[in-house]
Amino acid sequence: MKKSLITIVAFLLVCTSVSHAQIQVDSIQSIYNIYDFDFVGSGTRAKGMGNAFIGVSNDVTGGSWNPAGIFELDKTTMGISWLSMRPRGNSSIQSVTDLTEANHSGSLSDISSLNFISPIRISGHPFVFSLNLTRNFTDFSQAASQVDIEREFITFAPNGVVYYDTNNVNIQNGIRVEGSLNSINLGFGTRLYDNYSFGAAINIYTGNSLYKINTTNTIEDFRVYTVQRAQVQEFINLEDTNKFSGMNFTLGFMYNSETVNAGLTVRTPFKLSENRERGVYQNTELNEISLATDTVFISELYKYDMPLMVGAGIGYQLTENLLLAGDVEYRGFSGNEVNKRVSLTINPGSSNIEEFVTFDPKWNNSFSVRVGVEYMNNFDFANIPIRAGYAYVPVPGTSLDPLNGSQSTVVNNKITFGSGLHFEQIYLDIAYVYNTNNFETVGFTNDSKNHNIDISFTGVF
């Protein structure tokens, strides 16, 4: 009897959760594959100026932006930044028969950068070396939804009678994504000739993210055979634990004068690996008594082709206290491929055999524009900077209009403000970033309005 009951319950849950919850899982999972891939440097000052920092790069975070700019620094300096994120907005998922809407909420706090620079001389020639731990981009969101729908269920009694019932199904979903792609940047800057300097850095990419979906399907007053009424619940927990790895180089050039700095950076192409370990845990209960459990583990490996990235920036000291900055950066994503591992053969004592399938994610080239301003107020007790900026940052993925099939670029629009308190050897800075974007595809729409606060402490020795 128990085996028959499990079969009946499994059949019913296939009619409900697979038709609704699984569409949710697959839809959101496809969105999860679309990262921003916004490779920028670190620092609260840069964020407050809209990340327009390629032509400035003259503080402790400069090695993560344009290593040629740090040549201007003549003192050992250390800094740390702390990030707080609060996602807001909403999303909706349209299945064949139902519409589910979710509100974004939650918060995340973590270290966003660690920075160190030190000037030295090698054979009498001056160099400035830097070491940076940079959070290149953060992947964080949280959403919750609840929907009540009606479903028709068929119950086959032992005597051959067939019952047709209409029951309410309550579906609750919780989704949380948190993690980041980080890089360890080891670089140097030195003077080439007169007002021209050169710098280079090696970027070792690391980091991880955790993606979780918790789904609960509840059917009240469910008919078991003929007369018994019961509550049936299905719990589905999906967890992706992802780890990133990769390496490339940054080459930087800078022209310095009393009023104008101009910078150029080149980030070399590389393959970004993402190793996913997925677990799906499912439990079915009848009147809070477990009837069936199921656990599935899947290991996946993705390799993304990251393109050549070329950026140029200018910093213009309009007055002694007023700095204007602007950047443009090109990232040639179009035509790049994604490789997914489809089989792995382990050979003891020899190299493992991996087979990959290659597909075109249909990414677009990205051309970012960033502008910023900094005004330094000088007081007897300290200097207080006032900063503002704006960044227009297209992402590789495209938005698809489900009505006419037209594609459009997905853009992060960032409005930033910043300030601080600068003493002779201690700098305290704060930046606020308001980021919006809209994404749409078949069955899924997303409207994000995220709030980010970055705080940093810098010490000059």
- pLDDT of 233-254, one tens digit each? 889 888 888 899 999 999 999 9
Q: How many other CB atoms are there within 10 angstroms of residue 125's CB atom?
A: 9
* Upper half-sphere CA count for residue 119 (Cβ side, 13 Å): 17
Rounded to 5°, the CA angle 393-394-400 comes to: 150
Locus of tokens 């490339």: 248
Q: In angstroms, rounded to a whole number, what is the distance separating the alpha carbons of residues 269 and 336? A: 11
Q: In angstroms, rounded to a whole number, what is the distance separating the alpha carbons of residues 279 and 265? A: 41
Share of the chain above pLDDT 90, in %: 46
pLDDT band for position 28 (cuts 50, 70, 90): very low
Per-residue pLDDT at 8: 34
Choice among 81-95, 210-224, 360-374 with the minimum mean pLDDT: 81-95
Look over the chain and give the mean of its residue pLDDT values, rounded to a whole number.
84
Per-residue pLDDT at 282: 87
Residue 7 CB-density burial (10 A; 0-12 exposed, 13-18 middle, 19+ buried): exposed
Please, which residues bridge with residue 241 across strands? 210, 277
Rounded to 5°, the CA angle 236-237-238 comes to: 120
Indicate if the pLDDT at residue 401 is higher than 70: no
Tell me what the mean pLDDT of segment 111-125 comes to. 91
Indicate if the pLDDT at residue 402 is higher than 70: no
pLDDT band for position 225 (cuts 50, 70, 90): low
Correct CATH for 2-460 of 3.20.20.105, 2.40.160.60, 2.60.120.330, 3.40.190.10: 2.40.160.60
Please, which residues bridge with residue 401 across strands? none
Per-residue pLDDT at 5: 36
pLDDT band for position 2 (cuts 50, 70, 90): very low
18: helix, strand or coil: helix
User: Which DSSP string corresponds to 109-132?
Assistant: EEEEEEEEEEEEEETTEEEEEEEE
Question: H-helix or E-strand containing 193?
Answer: strand 162-193
Indicate if the pLDDT at residue 96 is higher than 60: no
Share of the chain above pLDDT 70, in %: 87
Tell me what the mean pLDDT of segment 169-181 comes to. 84
> Among residues 88, 79, 87, which one has the least CA distance to residue 44?
79
Contact of 140 with 179, CB cutoff 8 Å: yes
Per-residue pLDDT at 40: 92
Strand 322-331 to strand 366-378: parallel, antiparallel, or no bridges (unpaired)? antiparallel
> Among residues 243, 233, 333, 335, which one has the least CA distance to residue 286?
233
Q: In angstroms, rounded to a whole number, what is the distance separating the alpha carbons of residues 47 and 416? A: 7
Indicate if the pLDDT at residue 134 is higher than 60: yes
The predicted-structure confidence for 284-336, as pLDDT tens digits, reads as follows 888 888 888 888 888 888 899 999 999 999 999 999 999 999 999 999 999 99
112: helix, strand or coil: strand
> In the chain, where are the structural domains located?
2-460
Contact of 255 with 312, CB cutoff 8 Å: no
pLDDT band for position 144 (cuts 50, 70, 90): confident
Which two structure tokens, joined as six digits, stand for 192? Answer: 């080439």
* Upper half-sphere CA count for residue 180 (Cβ side, 13 Å): 19
Which two structure tokens, joined as six digits, stand for 205? Answer: 């990419």
Q: How many other CB atoms are there within 10 angstroms of residue 403's CB atom?
A: 7
pLDDT band for position 34 (cuts 50, 70, 90): low
Indicate if the pLDDT at residue 13 is higher than 60: no
pLDDT band for position 406 (cuts 50, 70, 90): low
Indicate if the pLDDT at residue 29 is higher than 70: no
Contact of 248 with 242, CB cutoff 8 Å: no
* CB within 8 Å of 70: residues ≥ 6 apart: 57, 58, 62, 63, 117, 128, 130, 187, 189, 199
Tell me what the mean pLDDT of segment 95-114 comes to. 77
Backbone φ, ψ for residue 194 (5° rounding): 50, -115
Tell me what the mean pLDDT of segment 190-207 comes to. 94
- Alpha-carbon distance values, 280 to 18, 164, 212, 214, 297 (Å): 14, 32, 10, 10, 7
In terms of pLDDT, which residue wins out, 335 or 152?
335
Q: In angstroms, rounded to a whole number, what is the distance separating the alpha carbons of residues 124 and 372? A: 37
Chain-centre distance of CA 30, in angstroms?
A: 14
